[in-house]
Amino acid sequence: MSIRLRLIVMNFLEFFVWGSWLISLGGYMFVTLKFTGTQVGSIYATMGIASLFMPSIMGIIADRWINAERVLGLCHIIGAILLICAAQVKDYAWVYVLMLVNSMFYMPTIALNNTVSYAVLEQRGLNIIKLFPPIRVWGTVGFIVAMWLVDILHWTVSPMQLYVSAASGLFLGIYAFTMPPCPPTKLKGDGSLLSSFGLDALVLFKNRRMAIFFVFAMLLGAALQITNTFGEPFIHDFAATYPDSFAVQHPSLLMSLSQISETLFILTIPFFLSRFGIKRVMLISIFAWVLRFGLFAVGNPVGGIFFLGLSMIIYGMAFDFFNISGSLFVEKEADHSIMASAQGLFMFMTNGIGAFFGGTLSGWIVDYFTSDGIRDWPSIWLTFSGYALVLGIIFPFVFNYKHEPNKLETVKD
């Protein structure tokens, strides 16, 4: 098997593990376990808590002591065991603890997967920039296939989705040990613990423009967590009025349109960035979130299925335009000596702090609009849409950035 194919398999499985439950677990907890919105939101927020520190810790271990492919394998094997345990408990406290510890071992694997891929390609003298993107896209394919599998087998409200994730995680854990060795290397920079955790990038907060950018990174990270947490439970709640509709029967198939859209919008980013610049592309992303939530508010599985489908398509723009353009902005603005730390800080704000507050606060909103077990989804989604709208109104006034076509972006304070 060629090394390219081996890396494709690894990336496919990396996100198959996540796609097996990330979108559908909320439905399982709402419909089967009867958890409240706050409880569901708090369990999803465990990914944000884990992202605050575990990727850095596992990165230090891989940098100093243990081969990266072995750390990757161990994390997946431990995570799989925890998912098996989580599938067998019904109590909120136990589910919370098990999913928290699982997140502590899964979330670092996203970065470790990239680390192993880069190291293996570099060892063979291959062009990383050219070869990695078409390899990584198979991760999104794996995520979609996992969603489809769980949906087609009618496991979206069953603990079986966790067993599927666990089985693929165990396989990937063993498979990772067969990858070419990626031995520890010396830490970059001064090798201090501060540098290891990416905290040297905090100097970027001294720049007003960058400070504002990172604040919005956190706020939009919260928006992403909202849709991951409550998208499928929203569809499941139509079972009482539209039990035989396609959306209710196959919620994950419908939700997977979001990931399909994501893969397509990636291809449009070069055009939008060159034509409109980073500031406008990010603003488009924010208003795409307004539409994402607003269309959910007016959609339903029968007469409003068009609005639900359009919301899924818009998700690709909302997700890609901020995450990729934001990463490019960080790359341009940060000094080369702290480039890796700056990118880590960007992920810390979005997948760490943003994900934690998004999961926690959105759960409170859902419970606020819930009475006698009935959730007022139009009010819930309009509240989330209003949140994104406020961000969209404020952003262009506080984030000053001038785009000059065919030239490097220039800044004005």
Q: How far apart are CA 384 and CA 242, in angstroms?
A: 24
Candidates 382, 371, 233; CA nearest to 296 is 382
Least confident of 217-221, 288-292, 295-299, 377-381: 217-221
For residue 407, the model assigns a pLDDT of 46
CATH of 1-186, one of 1.10.600.10, 1.20.1250.20, 1.10.10.10, 3.40.50.300: 1.20.1250.20
Cα 376 → chain centroid: 26
Q: Residue 208 pLDDT > 80, yes or no?
A: yes
Backbone angles phi, psi at 304, to 5 degrees: -110, 20
Query: How many separate helices (H) and strands (E) can be counted in the chain?
Result: 18, 4
Show the DSSP H helices in 153-238 as ranges: 160-176, 193-196, 208-236
DSSP labels, 352-388: IIIHHHHHHHHHHHHHHTEETTEE-HHHHHHHHHHHH
**Whole-number mean pLDDT of the chain?**
86
Instruction: Given CATH 1.20.1250.20, say whether it is the number of domain 190-413.
Output: yes
Query: Which tens digit of pLDDT belongs to each residue from 252-280?
Result: 889 889 988 988 887 787 788 778 877 88
320 falls in which pLDDT band (50, 70, 90)? Answer: confident
Q: Residue 180 pLDDT > 90, yes or no?
A: yes
Ranges of each domain in the chain: 1-186, 190-413
Q: How far apart are CA 42 and CA 10, in angstroms?
A: 30
Q: How far apart are CA 44 and CA 382, in angstroms?
A: 21
Crossing angle of helices 160-176 and 3-19, in 10° steps, is: 150
SS3 405: coil
Candidates 222, 215, 156; CA nearest to 365 is 222
Q: Which amino acid is at 236?
A: H
Around Cβ 242, how many Cβ atoms within 10 Å? Answer: 17
Average pLDDT, integer, range 118-144 = 84
Least confident of 56-60, 223-227, 371-375, 377-381: 56-60
Q: How far apart are CA 386 and CA 382, in angstroms?
A: 6
